[in-house]
Structure 1
Amino acid sequence: MKTIDEMLHLALLSPDEHQQISTWIAQAESPDEILKMPPLLWRAVERASAVMGIDEDLMRPPALDGGDMVCS
């Protein structure tokens, strides 16, 4: 839901799309149920995801160097 909220904040989803998508996700009992979301709503999520570069983030190999991570 955090990503959907960010999409609304960035004006990538309309308030109505956000409400409908959020309601669908909240009522879904499984990931398979989420996948049954109406095509119009899926297209809205896909457009917003493309603008945010979500697919590219998911396809990027993980940084194995740990960067500035501090383990204790």
Structure 2
Amino acid sequence: MKIIDEMLNLALLSADQHQQISAWMAHADTPEDILKMPAPLWRAVERASEIMGIDDDLMRPPSLDADDMVCL
């Protein structure tokens, strides 16, 4: 939900889209239920994700030189 909120704050989603997506996610019991979100809402999330570079962040390998990294 935090990412959806950020999309709204960056004006990548309208208030109506944010409300509809948030409501859909709140009532989804499983990830499969989320995947059943209406296509126009998915397209809005995909566009916002692309602009935010979310896929790029997920594909980037983890930084092994992080100062605060804890190895267990």
TM over 0.5: yes
> What letter is aligned with 2:40?
L
Q: What TM-score do the two structures reach when normalised by structure 1?
A: 0.93
Unaligned residue ranges in structure 1 (runs of 5+): none
Aligned length, in residue pairs: 70
Deviation of 1:70 after TM superposition, in Å, equals 6.1
1:41 aligns with 2:41: yes
Percent identical residues: 70
Distance 1:70 1:47, change over 3 A: closer
Q: What TM-score do the two structures reach when normalised by structure 2?
A: 0.93
1:21 aligns with 2:21: yes
Q: What do the CA deviations read for 1:1-56 (whole angstroms, capped 9, x no partner)?
A: 00000000000000000000000000000001000000000000000000000000
Distance 1:62 1:10, change over 3 A: same
Unaligned residue ranges in structure 2 (runs of 5+): none
After TM superposition, which residue ranges in structure 1, 4 or more long, deviate above 2 angstroms?
Answer: none
